[in-house]
Amino acid sequence: MASHEVLQAFVQAATQGSFSAAARKLGKSQSTISAAVASLEIDLDVVLFDRSSRKPTLTPAGHVLLQRAEQVLEASSRLELAASQLAQGLEPRVTIAMSDTYQSPRFETAILAFSQRYPDLELEWLIAECDDLVDLVQSGRAHMAFIEQQDVYPPDLTSSPVQERTETALFVSPQHALASLAQVDPQHLKLHRELRLASIVKPYDNRAAGRVWSAASYLMLMEMAQLSFGWAPLPRWLVERFGNASLIELKARGWPRSVAMDALWSRQRPPGPAGSWLLGQMLD
């Protein structure tokens, strides 16, 4: 396999237009560059440059292999950067857990900037709700979570509000009996099945809750509502993006509701440098 220095000599000779210009660029002698290119041609058993004219020009094979050499050098550079970051304490992966309630252009902008700042770091994105989000952070499974604001969190967790708020509203399918009502009151709702969000770690006791079906995902609740199984409180943005006009919003007192969101992370296992940077982007 060709060394990093040999590939650099080849790429610079091709892009600079001459061996002498490549030598100046790399701070080496022209003879060193010429020898490196000749060595590469021998190793690959391919003529890379046509030397019949005053300035060497790439052969057809040289054009093809130039692209491959540039890719190898780029991959090598990224490998060295990743190794350097890990040696400095950068975490190899950042795991974010998020409620489907939360939708924010700020988060999308932050993730884009994160991908550019840490191109080789693994990002894991989990979707969960309620107590499941708390459990993911407490257990160390997630480095941070974005959760519907709660009055109290466990003492080992730290929370901070994010600026954006979201809205939840009541939805049913157009075929549901409630869809024909101009105004819905609590008595109407009690006559029909509620589609309720329930966490995995702390499910609701539905035996005393009347006609209730539950799921741990807003997307699942939305599908259940689309099938006319009942009425459901859902994030409005989720219905607008994925509901495909298959649900209608009920007009009910107290709805829609504005929902505040918190960022949540562990005091005992705080995010590393990359996670802290992303969290800072969300809280600035």
Question: What are the pLDDT digits (tens) for 260-269?
Answer: 999 999 988 8
CATH 3.40.190.10, the chain: domain bounds: 93-165+260-283
Pairwise CA distance, residues 264 & 33, whole Å: 55
Pairing mode of beta strands 57-58, 49-50 = antiparallel
Which distant-in-sequence residues (6+ apart) come within 8 Å of 238 by Cβ?
100, 103, 218, 219, 222
Q: Read off the pLDDT of each residue in 190-219 and give the average, rounded to a whole number.
A: 81
pTM above 0.85, yes or no: no
Most confident of 46-60, 100-114, 145-159, 225-239: 225-239
CATH 3.40.190.290, the chain: domain bounds: 167-257
What is the domain class of 93-165+260-283 according to CATH? alpha beta
What is the phi/psi pair of residue 35, to 5°? -65, -40
pLDDT (tens digit per residue) in 56-104: 889 999 899 988 888 887 777 666 655 655 666 788 899 999 999 998 8
CATH 1.10.10.10, the chain: domain bounds: 4-87
The CATH-assigned architecture of domain 4-87 is: Orthogonal Bundle (1.10)
Would you state the pLDDT for residue 88?
62
Which distant-in-sequence residues (6+ apart) come within 8 Å of 256 by Cβ?
167, 168, 169, 236, 249
Would you state the pLDDT for residue 84?
56
Q: Which fold has domain 167-257?
A: D-Maltodextrin-Binding Protein; domain 2 (3.40.190)
How far, CA to CA in Å, does 279 sit from each of 2, 27, 91, 177, 238?
42, 42, 14, 44, 24
Least confident interval from 5-19, 123-137, 154-168, 192-206: 192-206
